[in-house]
Structure 1
Amino acid sequence: MICIRRARAADAEAIGAVHVSTWRTAYAGVLPDGYLAELSPLRHAAGYEQAITDRRHGHAVFVAVASGADAPVGAAGEGGTVVGFVSGGRARRDWLAQGEVETLYLMDDYRDRGIGRRLMRAMSAHLAAVGCRSVMLWVLQDNPTRWFYQHLHGRPAAQESIRFAGQTMQQLAFVWDPIETLLAATAPAPEG
C-alpha cells in the first residue's frame, strides 16, 4: 500500500536518502559524476528537517510511504518506507505564479504507478488551500522526466541559464494557471 501524508521531522533522513538516490539516477550523464558521488543524504536530511518544521510562506512537505507488499525488499520498520516526496510553498518568484513546487522525487522502482501524480495532487491541493491561484516549478531542461509535467498540462513559461555543479545548464519553468488545471490533471480516476 502507498500512503501520501504530510512529512514529519522523523522522515527527514529517509527524504535525504530519496533525494540523493533519485539525483544519482536522473542526472547521471547530465551532472558531473564527482558531484553526484559527493551528494550526502545526511546533509540533505538536515535541510529537509528544517523545511518540514518551518511552515512559513505556506511551506509543506508530503511523503509517499510504501508498506506491506509495496515496501521495498529488505525494508524494516512498522510505519513503512518513504519512497518519494514533494515540497513547496509560496513562489520564490511570484511573477511566474503564486505557488511553487520546489522538489518532487520518487524512487525509480515506484515510477509509472501514479504516485508522482498523487504527490503533485497533495501539493497543489495544499497550495490552493493557502490561497495560491497558480503554481509553477523549475526543472532542468536535460531532466529526462520533464515529460511528466507536460503530461499534467504544465505550460512552459520561462527558461533561464543557471550555474550548477560547475557548469552552465538550462532550466525550464512550467506553470499551471489557474491552479485548477493541475488539480484537474491530478484528480483520481473515477472508478467503475
Structure 2
Amino acid sequence: MHTCRLARRLADKVVRSPNSRLITRMGHTYEYPRPGLTVDAIIVAEPQKAEPAKLLLIQRKKPPCKDAWALPGGFVDEGETLDHAAARELQEETGLDPKDLPFHQVGAFGDPGRDPRGWTVSVAYAALIPATLDVKGSDDAADAKWFRLSDIPPLAFDHKLVVRTALESLLGQDTVKSKGDLQSQLKTGIESLAGPWTPPKE
C-alpha cells in the first residue's frame, strides 16, 4: 500500500521537459533548503594586432545590482542542461551565437551571500575566441560591451571571483601557453581582480 501511494505521488510530480525527456520534481521527497541554480558565461577574445584581449560583459537592466556590469547568465530552466542554459543565456543577453564556442566548465560558486535575492549556486563556463564579435544587450541586459582585461569595471555579485577563476583556467590551457601576448594580458586581468569581492546589496 505504501509503495502504491508513493508511486501515485511520484506520478503527480512527473513533468515533460522541453526536450521531451521525463523528469521528476523532487520537492515532495527532499525537504531540505535548496539553492537556485544559475549559469554564467565568461567570453574572452584574444588580442588581434592593435586590439588587446577583451572580456564580454553585460549591464544589468533590473535589480539587484541594476546598472552594474556583470557576466551574461541567469537561472537554469526546469529540465534544461547546464550547457544549454549557458548557451541560451549568452545568446539572449548579448545576441552572440553560442554555436561552436569552445565552452568548458570553470567551476561552481555558491557563497550564501553572493546574491541578495537568496541562496544561489552558479556554474561558470568560459570560452576563448579568436576576436571580438558584434554584441547587443537584450532581454535582462541593458547593454553588452567588450572590456580590456586591464580595464575591467567593478562587477556585480561575486563575478570578480568568477572572472578571476576563469582567467586562471584559460591561462592554464595548452593552447594559450604558446601565446606570450595573450598570457601576459590574462595575467594582467587576474592581477586587476585580486582581493576579496564585496557582497552585493539590493
TM-score by length of 2: 0.33
Using CA pairs under 8 Å that are at least 6 residues apart, name the structure with larger relative contact order, 1 or 2: 2
TM-score by length of 1: 0.34
Say which one has the larger Rg: 2
